[in-house]
Chains A and B, each alone.
Chain A
Amino acid sequence: MPKVDYALRETASNLTRNFTITLASIMTVVVSLALVGASLMLRQGVQNATRRWQGGIEFVVFMNPNASQDQTDTVKKSLDENPQIQRFTYVNQKASYVEFKQLFHDQPELIKSVNASDLPPSYRVVPVNKTEKNIDQLGKTYGSMPGVKEVSYASATIRAVQELSQRLTVGIIVVALVLLGAAILLILNTIRMAMFARRREIEVMKLVGATNWFIRVPFMLEGLIQGVAGALLAVLALASFKPFFQSWLPNRQDFPLVSGFALSGRELFTIYALMIFTGCLVGVVGAGVAVTRFLDV
């Protein structure tokens, strides 16, 4: 296939001709996508660590694992009838076990030693009035009911962590978007320069009847390669720095609240795939704008 051969040769020579400017656009893609990836990881990590406390849940009423059905129903009825309670969900032992496995997925020996029947079923409660005093009062009411093992509260720390991660994520994403915009413009200009360097060839190609796509493909490929190369480097950087970042986190024995601040392989894969997709998109958009804007036939 002379066409494929031609496209690859031209792309390679374009990439090396403007090596420094190509490097600049790749580096911008790397930095911006690494930021996107890191903030997604942070968000997912915090979400995993505070899974129990999402959606405004302020306290959890844990029943005794061996509480009678009667006792469980009484608590449910009381929650149902209390006007102070906005809503609540019941998590049975099976669901608790699934969540437990998620939280401690990196400690298989712990999971092995626990059965579903060892875990307490619980009510997760969202009160109407979220002042500390009110929550405290409600918690005490339910803590004294028969069959209830304990009531645990969403501590201020967890709220702070959640809020911080949310703000950090937004901030980082904004910076990353600006950088991605810069990356698109850089790729666009790199390709514009490549087209300028080849303007005589392009002129001749048009004269002898090369199709528009034949002329465009090497430039599109050039943009795509820059985007993908940047994304792959960003993934590589995050993957190799992950253990390093994780060592910063407080030891889970000292700080049980953030236990389970970890990402499953699947979550990581999704984040990496998203980064590579974004890299492709950035490259193709930059190159696409360049060829349609500056390669009129």
Chain B
Amino acid sequence: MIRLEQVTKTYKGSVAALKDADVDIQKGEFVFLVGPSGSGKSTFIRLLNKEETPEKGRIFVAGKDIGELSSWKVPFLRRNIGCVFQDFKLLSNKTVSENVAFALEVIGRPRHVIDTQVPAILDLVGLGHKATSLPNELSGGEQQRVSIARAFVNRPLILLADEPTGNLDPATSVGIMRLLDRINKTGTTVVMATHDRGIVDTMRRRVIELDRGSIVRDQSRGVYE
């Protein structure tokens, strides 16, 4: 599903954010990216949906070399990839269901599809009863559920999560992880960057540890350290 071959990315005037990375992730895997701040976790994630381009190496997503992708095709790559962030990135002037519907609207899905998919996904994340609330009327955990709903409503092949529990307390984080686990069980590949030792240690999934841009550990059913 995802393959990196000798991928190197350096930001202007700094050390390598990612150095000669070789990674192979199968369909349906759940992968934790761990490592200190600045170790290259976010770069890893941003490379996968082509927000960044590597200066060396090749990246395959769903069987395609995304380095060869012309810029007008990038949006179609991103339709196969859902993204979740630490800061949710919800639109504050839209209600919960409008936020989720927006993701379908802007890729041209017809109204009747939107009208059936949105309530279904909100029920899945457990927010069916908050459909008409605005984001700032929700708790952090609920907002993250909305953002997961938005990322998943289009049934992407891959879900990328950049520290999704970074702003949440441990109890709420557990709920979010259960949700991501459920999404993973539907066959969606999940790649999650995190600092949360407790989550990694209880889930016991594949762990890729980065340190100053290099992969120092790649372990199935791993722990944080």
Binding site for B on A (CB under 8 A): 2-3, 6, 200-201, 203-212, 214-215, 297
Residues of B with C-beta under 8 A to A211? 72, 75, 107
A205 to chain B, nearest CB (A): 5
Besides the known contacts A2-B105, A212-B75, 4 further A-B residue pairs in the complex with CB atoms under 8 A apart:
A200-B89, A207-B78, A209-B107, A214-B108
Cα distance A113–B65 when bound, in Å? 83
B71 to chain A, nearest CB (A): 7
Identity of the chain B residue whose Cβ is nearest the Cβ of A203 in the assembled complex? B89
User: Which residues, 104 to 118 on B, are CB-close (under 8 Å) to A?
Assistant: 105-111
B138 interfacial contact with A, CB 8 Å: no
A208 & B78 in contact (Cβ 8 Å cutoff): yes
A201 & B91 in contact (Cβ 8 Å cutoff): yes
A204-B89, A297-B71 known; A209+B109 contact, CB < 8 A:
no
Cα distance A3–B107 when bound, in Å? 9
Cα distance A160–B79 when bound, in Å? 69
B154 interfacial contact with A, CB 8 Å: yes
A203 to chain B, nearest CB (A): 7
B79 & A2 in contact (Cβ 8 Å cutoff): no
How many contacts A-B (CB < 8 Å)?
Answer: 60
B179 interfacial contact with A, CB 8 Å: no
B134 to chain A, nearest CB (A): 14
B111 & A209 in contact (Cβ 8 Å cutoff): no
Question: Interface size bucket, B side?
Answer: 20 to 34
A6 & B106 in contact (Cβ 8 Å cutoff): yes
Residues of A with C-beta under 8 A to B91? 200-201, 204
Q: List 23 A-B contacts (CB under 8 A).
A: A2-B109, A2-B110, A2-B111, A200-B92, A201-B102, A203-B89, A204-B89, A204-B91, A204-B150, A207-B49, A207-B78, A207-B89, A208-B102, A208-B150, A208-B151, A208-B154, A209-B77, A209-B79, A209-B81, A210-B107, A212-B75, A297-B71, A297-B75
A204 & B102 in contact (Cβ 8 Å cutoff): yes
Residue of A200, A204, A206, A209 with most partner-chain B CB within 10 A:
A209
A207-B83, A209-B77, A297-B74 known; A2+B108 contact, CB < 8 A:
yes
Residues of B with C-beta under 8 A to A205? 106
B76 & A209 in contact (Cβ 8 Å cutoff): yes
B193 interfacial contact with A, CB 8 Å: no
Identity of the chain B residue whose Cβ is nearest the Cβ of A207 in the assembled complex? B83
Residue of B75, B83, B89, B103 with most partner-chain A CB within 10 A:
B75
Residues of B with C-beta under 8 A to A2? 105, 108-111
